[in-house]
Structure 1
Amino acid sequence: MAERSIPRIFSRQRRIARALRHHNLAGTDAKADPAEQFLRAQAAEDILERLDFMRFEPCPALLIGDRPGFLGGPLIRDRGFGVWDGGPDTIDEETPHGDAAFGLIVSLFTLDTVNDLPGALLHYRNALTQDGLFIAQFTGAGSLPALRGIIQAADGETPHARIHPQIDRPGASGLMSRAGFAKHVVDSHTLTVRYSSLDTLVADLRAQGLGSVLADAPPPLTRAGRARARAAFDTLREDDGKVSETFEILSLTGWR
């Protein structure tokens, strides 16, 4: 049987550097600002509500990407979970994670930048105890439509890949089924954020650990390209002078 060819879309070294940078910017549970880390703060709130609704019992839990501690803190303090915390800088998501040891595994905003996503999902399933629960959240294919148009305008007649390819709901559902998850569900919700400048939008993405980790880094925008980007941003301004940007958050849930 021929080996499965895995395309190299993302750089592991750049993922690690991004995770470390985000960790340093976000700080700890005591220091992190939910307003600045709004995607992870909202994801943590959503997951806690799901666990409470399911009356999910305390168990050993593995959290990936919860560096501000919005999820791990309440799981430990208020719900009695034993939590192991990690990120792309400490765990290689494309390799096995050992024997089935975790009753709960949660991945926040990391799985959309692994090269071998089917393999990563399978490794997470295998790391769950029998009847263990896996939850992942990350930005989906409906995200950043304004920025995509702005970047296209900035590059002009010589486009470059600057924004990550993203996964839609049917694709995510198929991957969960392929990995062998039982009773898997993929749902999504959208979040609209208003920005007064392009620089603020870009800074927001970097502050939340959503900067580019493409293996083939595109060339920097020229001065003319940056001017075209700002002009394209200005054409999107609404009556109050701000531009609306959309984040689609996919939620993948499955059981072993």
Structure 2
Amino acid sequence: MTDDRLIFDRAQLRRQRRRAASGFGGHDFLFRELAERLLDRLADIRQGFPLAADISPQPGFLAALRREIDPALGGIERMLAAGPVSPPPGAVGVVCEEEALPFRPGSLDLILSCLGLHWVNDLPGALVQIRDALRPDGLFLGVLLGGETLTELRQCLMEAELAASGGASPRVSPMVGMRDAAGLLQRASFALPVADSETITVTYKDALALMRELRGMGEGNALVARPRRPARREVIARASALYAARFAEPDGRIRATFQAIFLTGWAPAANQQQPARRGSGEVNLRDVFGSTC
């Protein structure tokens, strides 16, 4: 992808993740919550996976959490940690970019991704790489942040900056919408594609506490078009006041919305369940619903 089409500054993202790494344990609530939900979905699949890869931005996190919950979860025999930073000691892994996966075609039975793909510049291309790396009937299971994430913060920052300077800078990342998610899986030629979303609402003392949490998660602004100077104090103050006025709970804490979009897709295989041929139905809908259908 050419530079003029880049949305995210991946070098800046790596810097943010490195800065956040040492204190990530104090800000990992969202990653942990969504990782648990991802593993719950995996547990519902009654199939063995001899070789899996985790391409999440926190290498080894899913494997460690899986051991906490149930070492046999999901029938995984061996799991590689493949992410943007070195995996923890004892984890089998490789340092790589989500945008350039190092796996041979048809080499993996399962690929997992937790909260990394919303930072990819070419999401359709990344999904194609994932599908190509899977063996026939291999599974991709991922979760990324969706377009309704931080809607409250977006509104308040934009309005505060418009009032202060007459213009608004891009300060919160654009994210994929739920309506587009299943289509992206289909474009990448996954079989049996499914996309669904869940909403998590979290409360904070104030907007500044939310912003500190985002930095601690390594989820700060990494847009190519981001302003290179910090927001002016008057903008932050006005945004915080707007946030408190519009989105405070009865106890005074402000709420923040995170939309999690879960993606499930299988590498095509001859033995998979196939949709029925169009026109092959044997039940007349008039017999079910009457003559008004």
Same fold (TM over 0.5): yes
Check conservation: 1:97, 1:124, Cα contact below 8 A.
no
Of 243, 256, 259 in structure 2, the residue corresponding to residue 248 of structure 1 is 259
Check conservation: 2:118, 2:175, Cα contact below 8 A.
yes
Of 92, 100, 104 in structure 2, the residue corresponding to residue 95 of structure 1 is 100
Greater mean deviation of Cα atoms: 61-70 or 138-147: 61-70
Q: Name the CA distance, whole Å, in 1 between partners of 2:16 and 2:231.
A: 20
Q: Name the CA distance, whole Å, in 1 between partners of 2:225 and 2:175.
A: 16
Instruction: Report the alpha carbon displacement of residue 85 of structure 1 after superposing the two structures with TM.
Output: 1.0
Q: TM-score, normalised by structure 1?
A: 0.88
Q: Deviations over 1:13-52 (max 9, x none)?
A: 01221232333322xxxxx45xx31221112211221122
Instruction: Report the alpha carbon displacement of residue 129 of structure 1 after superposing the two structures with TM.
Output: 1.4
SS at 1:22 equivalent? helix
The aligned residue for residue 137 of structure 2 is 131
SS at 2:31 equivalent? helix
SS at 2:48 equivalent? coil
Q: Name the CA distance, whole Å, in 2 between partners of 1:68 and 1:105.
A: 13
Residues 6, 116 of structure 1: alpha-carbon distance in 2 compared, 3 angstrom cutoff? farther
Q: Deviations over 1:89-145 (max 9, x none)?
A: 431222353312211111111111111111111001111111111111111011111
Check conservation: 2:109, 2:134, Cα contact below 8 A.
yes
Task: Flag structure 1 segments of 5+ consecutive residues without an equivalent.
Answer: 27-31
The aligned residue for residue 118 of structure 2 is 112
The aligned residue for residue 6 of structure 2 is 8
Residues 22, 55 of structure 1: alpha-carbon distance in 2 compared, 3 angstrom cutoff? farther
Q: TM-score, normalised by structure 2?
A: 0.78
Specify the code of the residue in structure 1 equivalent to 2:80.
W
Specify the code of the residue in structure 2 equivalent to 1:177.
Q
Given the alignment of the two structures, is residue 223 of structure 1 paired with residue 233 of structure 2, yes or no?
Answer: yes
Residues 66, 78 of structure 1: alpha-carbon distance in 2 compared, 3 angstrom cutoff? farther
Given the alignment of the two structures, is residue 59 of structure 1 paired with residue 40 of structure 2, yes or no?
Answer: no
Given the alignment of the two structures, is residue 238 of structure 1 paired with residue 238 of structure 2, yes or no?
Answer: no
Q: Name the CA distance, whole Å, in 2 between partners of 1:188 and 1:209.
A: 22
The aligned residue for residue 141 of structure 1 is 147
Q: Name the CA distance, whole Å, in 2 between partners of 1:121 and 1:145.
A: 26
Task: Flag structure 2 segments of 5+ consecutive residues without an equivalent.
Answer: 86-94, 268-293
Instruction: Report the alpha carbon displacement of residue 56 of structure 1 after superposing the two structures with TM.
Output: 3.1
1:181-192 paired onto structure 2 within 5 Å: 181-192=190-201
Specify the code of the residue in structure 1 equivalent to 2:99.
E
Given the alignment of the two structures, is residue 165 of structure 1 paired with residue 174 of structure 2, yes or no?
Answer: yes
Q: Name the CA distance, whole Å, in 2 between partners of 1:122 and 1:198.
A: 38
* Greater relative contact order (Cα < 8 A, sep 6+): 1
Instruction: Report the alpha carbon displacement of residue 251 of structure 1 after superposing the two structures with TM.
Output: 0.3
1:2-81 paired onto structure 2 within 5 Å: 7-26=5-24, 32=25, 36-65=27-56, 67=58, 69-75=60-66, 78-79=71-72, 81=77
Residues 92, 225 of structure 1: alpha-carbon distance in 2 compared, 3 angstrom cutoff? same
Given the alignment of the two structures, is residue 205 of structure 1 paired with residue 214 of structure 2, yes or no?
Answer: yes
Q: Name the CA distance, whole Å, in 2 between partners of 1:180 and 1:4.
A: 24
Q: Percent identity?
A: 34
Note the aligned Cα RMSD (angstroms): 2.2
Check conservation: 1:15, 1:88, Cα contact below 8 A.
no
Instruction: Report the alpha carbon displacement of residue 242 of structure 1 after superposing the two structures with TM.
Output: 1.3
Q: Deviations over 1:57-77 (max 9, x none)?
A: 142111122627442125467
Q: Name the CA distance, whole Å, in 1 between partners of 2:77 and 2:22.
A: 25
